[in-house]
């Protein structure tokens, strides 16, 4: 499948509806989130501890199959000025390597996701340990929610 950064191109590759899986790809973990088939709300799912790529891929495949996922939305960590960084290139490579899943993939700007989620958790008086446990999967939900909002606005 193709990896795209344009919401219209992504929409064209999707069936009418179907669950989407959002990913916040870090160096140590992958935060995941799922949305409903009507693309209304994203919910944090599980946190995958990264090991070897093959094991990471298998965990994502298992989750995608179990949840009948029709597409992936992966957060793209751009620099504040919109340019690429080494981390951006790493996420692009990760996305390309997910081709065997045979799912459409959208790269979605995630510049403020972790900061927004961290602020929300601090406001909720979550402990540092609790924030560390939740931030990646909540960031994945934040990323996915932004993408599904854009998808439904373009209908």
pTM of the complete model: 0.91
Q: What is the pLDDT of residue 151?
A: 92
Q: What is the pLDDT of residue 1?
A: 64
CATH superfamily of 3-153: YqgF/RNase H-like domain (3.30.420.140)
Q: What is the pLDDT of residue 15?
A: 82
Q: What is the pLDDT of residue 146?
A: 93
Buried b (16+ CB within 10 A) or exposed e, 36-71: eeebeebebbebbeeeeeeebeebbeebbeeeebbb
Q: Let me know: does 74 contact 109? Beta carbons within 8 Å.
A: no
Q: What is the pLDDT of residue 112?
A: 73
Spans of the chain, pLDDT less than 50: none
Quick count: other Cβ atoms within 10 Å of Cβ 72?
26
């Amino acid at each position: 499948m193709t990896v795209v950064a344009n919401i219209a191109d992504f929409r064209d590759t999707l069936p009418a509806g179907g669950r989407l899986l959002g990913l916040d790809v870090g160096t140590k973990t992958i935060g995941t989130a799922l949305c409903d088939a009507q693309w209304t709300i994203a919910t944090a799912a599980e946190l995958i501890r990264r090991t070897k790529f093959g094991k990471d891929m298998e965990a994502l495949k298992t989750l995608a199959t179990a949840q009948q996922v029709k597409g992936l939305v992966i957060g793209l960590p751009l620099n504040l000025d919109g340019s690429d960084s080494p981390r951006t290139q790493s996420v692009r490579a990760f996305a390309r390597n997910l081709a065997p899943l045979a799912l459409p993939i959208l790269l979605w700007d995630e510049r403020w996701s972790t900061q927004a989620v961290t602020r929300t958790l601090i406001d909720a008086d979550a402990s540092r340990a609790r924030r560390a446990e939740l931030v990646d999967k909540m960031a994945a939900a934040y990323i996915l929610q932004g993408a599904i909002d854009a998808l439904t606005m373009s209908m």
